[in-house]
Amino acid sequence: MISAGDFRNGVTFDMDGQVMQIIEFQHVKPGKGAAFVRTKLRNVILGSVVERTFNPTDKFPEAYIERKDMEYLYNDGELYYFMDTESYEQIPLNKSLLGDEFKFIKENTICKILSYKGNVFGVEVPLFVELAVTDTEPGVRGDTATNSTKPATLETGATIKVPLFINNDDVIRIDTRTGEYLERAKK
């Protein structure tokens, strides 16, 4: 059990059957009245964010979220298959459990599968990936205007904006959180 007085950022607990994670917290001791804890909570499974205040003596059971490294193998329509790298067990996950950032993940990439009490509710992808550019307009010699970009299709099918000097078959590094080009990958 964890009391509201012990809340810290990142702590997960079970509240009314929902797994909540603390994004922000503040212990408030007003001049008049009892102290309280003001929090901003994220429902881990649904993704919704709520603000709530607690009495510092309120107690909640801690929720342990299991993060397991699994390798993305392939997809078959709406099902995406992941393999446990230790036991070689494969599990299919529905497309609805994958976030928007999954469009940057290619086969054989290690991802973290998030589960609570054996129920998978999400997939964490690597923060940065290196992908090859499969289709983009060729760069024009002398076109060095700063901050100019052009669309490029990556090997996973995703389209992002890249600088004008990027050509087909270049391998680039991408931030999966924002979908932005970072740099050319080292060869």
- pLDDT tens profile 47-99: 788 999 998 889 999 888 888 999 999 988 889 999 998 899 999 988 877 87
User: Per-residue pLDDT tens for 1-22?
Assistant: 888 888 888 788 888 888 888 8
Supply the CATH classification number for the domain 128-184.
Answer: 2.40.50.140
Residues 2-60, CATH architecture: Roll (2.30)
CATH 2.40.50.140 for domain 66-124: yes
Sheet with 159-163, side-by-side order of all strands: 159-163, 149-154, 128-136, 171-175, 180-184
Side-chain half-sphere of 94: how many Cα atoms within 13 Å? 5
The pTM (predicted TM-score) of the whole model is 0.70
Give the residue from 102, 99, 167, 157 showing the smallest Cα distance to 129: 102
Average predicted confidence (pLDDT) for the chain = 86
